[in-house]
Amino acid sequence: MSILDVLIVGGGPIGLACGIECEKSGLDYVIVEKGVLTNSLFNYPLNMTFFSTSEKLEMGGIPFMSIAHKPTRTEALEYYRRVAKTWKLNVRLYEEVKTLEKKDDFFEIKTSKGTYQTRNIIISTGFYDLPNLMNVPGEDLPKVTHYYKEPWPYIGQKIIVVGGANSAVDVALETWRKGADVTMILKDEGVDKNVKYWVKPDIENRIKEGSIKAFTNSLVKEIRENEVVINTPKGEVTIENDFVLAMTGYVPNFALLNQLGVELSLDEKRQPCYDQTNQESNIPGVYLAGVVCGGLNTREFFIENSIVHAEQIVGHIVGKGKV
């Protein structure tokens, strides 16, 4: 079995950027993706609009043309498909990494489709695959989801949206406009201060006028078949409910990091240990790229400010002279 120079775990935008840099440097590499190409973007809501402008999401010298200033999910999926095709990136789709193990001077990776040996690993798994659970009774009921695609299933239904960040706000507004009876559960005094500036006044006005109900400084206590129990500043409240959309965020794949021995910070962020100049973790030959670098602080890294990780990582790998 030949030993790769680099194995990239994750075929999202940052994984593709790493692949491009490997192509430029003539490295022998493979990108392994457990789902579709840019799987995290594929799982975004159908009508989602990016916060970033299209030019800030560009990579590999390929222009990103979008109809509006800020691209949509569909436009991004098409753009990164063209990126992968134009650069002829070596991407293996629907191949999930099962185990990663350090051998003498290389790593052995076993996936759902085979075994690889590589001198370097880049972890660019994103964070959209593993939801941040509320850990309350009833969270496993069929009416509860941590993912949202479109509003049509919720027409005329009593829904609860948990969370106050961008995803929750988008879900609340979109389902309300299609005829859902929407109640938001906000753990703070209001929606997140970082909600998209063109959306924040909309949701705040809908809450103020009572079109969308909101419990502030509140948490879900229990989810039942036809109702939800909420802890509020005024005590326990029970409301009728058909669906719960828990937009509570997502967490990185800590299991892969743990297998490799990557250290995590002891505070609430659980941020992986890595050198910010070259993205190498405390394990030599293991690099981190994209939002996985933030641990539970997933708001610090985005596509537009993580693309640079690819150049830093591959530059360091080539500079070591061990490829």
Among 246, 279, 300, identify where a domain stops: 246
Is 293 found in the same domain as 264?
A: yes
Is 259 found in the same domain as 120?
A: yes
Assign residue 244 a region (left: φ > 0; alpha: ψ between -120 and 50; beta: otherwise): beta
Q: What angle do CA 126, 127, 130 make, to 5 degrees?
A: 140
- CA–CA dist 252, 281 (Å, integer): 15
Place of tokens 């040996």: 117
- CA–CA dist 104, 36 (Å, integer): 33
The residue among 2, 59, 10 whose CA lies nearest residue 28 is: 2
Checking DSSP bridges between strand 130-131 and strand 250-251, what pairing results, if any? Answer: antiparallel
Q: What pLDDT was estimated at residue 91?
A: 98
Tokens, residue 24: 């430029």
Q: What pLDDT was estimated at residue 14?
A: 96
Q: Which residues of the chain have pLDDT under 50?
A: none
User: How buried is residue 14: exposed, middle or buried, by Cβ count under 10 Å (0-12/13-18/19+)?
Assistant: buried
Is 121 found in the same domain as 262?
A: yes
Q: Please, what is the angle between helix 166-177 and helix 200-208, to 10°? A: 60
Among 246, 274, 292, identify where a domain stops: 246
Residue 66 lies in domain? 4-130+250-320
* CATH number of the domain enclosing 290: 3.50.50.60
Tokens, residue 300: 């610090």
- CA–CA dist 284, 280 (Å, integer): 7
Is 159 found in the same domain as 98?
A: no
Asked whether 283 and 101 are in contact (CB, 8 A), the reply is: no
Q: What pLDDT was estimated at residue 295?
A: 82
pTM for this model (two decimals): 0.85
Tokens, residue 21: 């840099």
Asked whether 136 and 220 are in contact (CB, 8 A), the reply is: yes
Q: How many CA atoms lie less than 13 Å away from 230 in the CB half-sphere? A: 25
Is 120 found in the same domain as 189?
A: no
Is 111 found in the same domain as 92?
A: yes
Q: What pLDDT was estimated at residue 177?
A: 97
Is 137 found in the same domain as 122?
A: no
Is 174 found in the same domain as 123?
A: no
Number of domains forming the structure of the chain: 2
Assign residue 217 a region (left: φ > 0; alpha: ψ between -120 and 50; beta: otherwise): left
Q: What pLDDT was estimated at residue 322?
A: 55
Is 254 found in the same domain as 115?
A: yes
Q: What pLDDT was estimated at residue 291?
A: 87
Question: What sign has the CA pseudo-torsion 75, 40, 271, 299?
Answer: positive
Q: Which residues pair with 72 in a beta bridge?
A: 49
Q: What pLDDT was estimated at residue 194?
A: 85
Asked whether 19 and 29 are in contact (CB, 8 A), the reply is: yes
Among 225, 246, 267, identify where a domain stops: 246
Is 138 found in the same domain as 45?
A: no
Is 256 found in the same domain as 124?
A: yes
Is 234 found in the same domain as 147?
A: yes
- CA–CA dist 244, 138 (Å, integer): 10
Place of tokens 């979109």: 174
